Amino acid sequence: MLFVDDLLGGKAMSLERHWTTRSRQLGRYVVPCCVILGTFAAAPVAAVKTGDHVPRVLILYPYDERLAATTAAGEAIRTRLLQATKARIDLFSEFLDLSRFPEAEHIGRMARYLSAKYADRRELAASAKVIVAGFSSFTAEEMDLPNDVVGAFSDFDIVKTAEMARGLQPEARHLFIIGGSSEFDRSWLARARADLAAFSKDYETTYLEDLTIEEFTKVAAEVPRDSIILALTILKDRDGRNFMPREAVKQIAETAGAPIYGPYLTYIDYGVVGGSVVTFESLGKTVADLALEAVAGKPISNLESPQTYVADARQLERWGLSEKNLPAGAIQMFKEPTFWEQYWLAAVFALAVITFQGTVIAGLLIERRRRQAAETESRHRLLEVVHLNQSATAGALSASIAHELNQPLGAIRSNAEAAAVILRSERPDLELIGQILVDIQDDDQRAHDVISRIRGLLKKRSEIDWQEFDLNEVATSAIRILRGEAERRSVVVSSSHTSRELPVRADRVHVQQVILNLATNAMDAMLEVITTEKRLLLETRLTTESQVELSISDTGRGIPDERLASIFEPFYTTKPHGTGLGLSIARAIVETYGGKISAANRPGGGAVFRVVLPLARNG
């Protein structure tokens, strides 16, 4: 520590004397910085004009600017001062380089140099306040600081550090305290012995002192795992070798058999688990707060920088120590961010995407359900409508059906009468009677066929009866149903089938209903037409490898061209008692089975309706 004598008069001289005598023993380890507060003269002209006084603060760094500990503390002072005064402060910094030039001559030289440098500023007058910081009050006592120098002391509390160790290692039974051989190291050891007297009673306690660095390292490597090692300072080892204490601690910690703790922030990242330390921020803040008080003209006195528990998260992990056992408020350094801390943005985004996807999927599922329900509903409706359509067709065909039924019944009756006549003769011809009975049976079968066709026509479906059948077969059975009606209307029905089977998958009754609708319409269209021949042709054929076509053509009046596109729409009818539903039902049925229906006019007159259905299987 050094003060410029011309600036501070006798006060500086006395500090200089103290520094010169103590500097070597304290070395660079314990004196991070010193602040000189200037008295409050601004630049002369400005001051006169505005009457504005800007406080001036000189921060003296004992070493060069590369010593991280002091520079960090100095930065903390600067930041705090600038913040608190809203930058209305003049800050000066000087680096004294005492670690490389510890000799008294250098100190004197620096004193003269700084004295000259700041002479024409007039601001650092005799009333300037001096604040020292970066060492303990215990050291301050040893230094015998002048009374008017105020300290922002950092007490390196070994007991608090030891208690932190006990919290982390409740199972520990051994306690080792490491201290070096320099005068400072020894005084530290003596103080620790006194401070830890009560604490060490619970442990088998060993003070490791008067050892070489190699011996420290070896002994520390062999301590049992249930040990607590407290590192004080090793400025010198027994062989008189000088160390940066944290470098010595680092060497020992590398192979130590148990966790090491120390009361210095500078030990963190050098292999210690942690300790109760004064952080640079806390030190800087204490100094700056004292400076601000002084600037405000308030009386200031010595202050302790608050301590903080600091732990190295990597060392906690190395020794398997739980962070839960850290004292409240402990700061963890080098803590790997948790997955959440590291990726929270990505995680939130992913979560949002998943939620969004989930919602979309749920929405689609609900939509699908609804669609399925709607499809089922519409299918049921269609089945209902088709059944009504079937009944209507049966009604329309009832006259011809009755006629068709009458034929076999009449034949049965005639045959029965004939048989009765034969039986009444003297010598009945039994062979003939046998023949008649066979005829009766045949007629009965015909009547039965007619009835079962009507039954088939009227069959009601509660669900589609999917089956694979030959389209030719259904076309033939539809013609059979229509035959009577066609005859009644003098319509010649003909059909043309492919020789090969045309398998389709659908409900047979529905496809038959389509044919009946188209065919009855065709016969209706030929009703008023007076042509030599009323012809209805029913054709089936394979159009492509996967499709079959059924066409129904007539020689009727045809369809007006402008109606061709909309003829399948419901309720279009030209018939006095028509419903206009036959074609729309036919289209609904065909589309249900994946097919298409279309209408056209034939070149030679009349209309043709084509139904295309998918082939169930090839060959």
Query: Using CB under 6 A as the criterion, which residues of the chain lie in contact with ligand ADP when the complex forms?
Result: 517, 521-522, 525, 554, 556-559, 567, 572-575, 578-584, 607
Beta carbon nearer to ligand ADP, 128 or 581 = 581
Nearest approach, Cβ of residue 553 and ligand ADP (Å): 8
State residue 542 phi and psi, 5-degree precision. -95, 115
Residue nearest to ligand ADP (CB): 582
Nearest approach, Cβ of residue 605 and ligand ADP (Å): 10
DSSP string, 489-549: TTEEEEEE--SS--EEEE-HHHHHHHHHHHHHHHHHHTSS---S-EEEEEEEEEEETTEEE
Q: How far is CA 193 from CA 66, 210, 278, 368, 577, in A?
A: 34, 15, 21, 80, 121
Nearest approach, Cβ of residue 380 and ligand ADP (Å): 22
Cα–Cα dist 493/534, whole Å: 9
Nearest approach, Cβ of residue 612 and ligand ADP (Å): 17
- The DSSP symbol for 302 reads -
Beta carbon nearer to ligand ADP, 341 or 562 = 562
Cα–Cα dist 517/582, whole Å: 6
Q: Which two tokens stand for residue 470?
A: 């030959």
Q: b/e string for 335-349 if b means 16 or more Cβ within 10 A?
A: eeeeeeeeeeeeeee
Beta carbon nearer to ligand ADP, 209 or 554 = 554
Nearest approach, Cβ of residue 571 and ligand ADP (Å): 8
Beta carbon nearer to ligand ADP, 274 or 606 = 606
Cβ 194 vs Cβ 157: under 8 Å: no
Beta carbon nearer to ligand ADP, 132 or 526 = 526
State residue 503 phi and psi, 5-degree precision. -75, 130
Beta carbon nearer to ligand ADP, 508 or 557 = 557
Beta carbon nearer to ligand ADP, 4 or 522 = 522
Beta carbon nearer to ligand ADP, 73 or 599 = 599
- Find the helix or strand (DSSP H, E) in which 143 lies: helix 137-143
Nearest approach, Cβ of residue 552 and ligand ADP (Å): 8
Cβ 609 vs Cβ 518: under 8 Å: yes
- The DSSP symbol for 617 reads S
Nearest approach, Cβ of residue 606 and ligand ADP (Å): 7
Cα–Cα dist 257/244, whole Å: 22
Nearest approach, Cβ of residue 619 and ligand ADP (Å): 33
Nearest approach, Cβ of residue 404 and ligand ADP (Å): 22
Nearest to 539 by CA among 528, 526, 551: 551
In the three-class reduction of DSSP (H, G, I as helix; E, B as strand; rest coil), residue 435 is classed as helix
In the three-class reduction of DSSP (H, G, I as helix; E, B as strand; rest coil), residue 208 is classed as strand
Beta carbon nearer to ligand ADP, 23 or 517 = 517
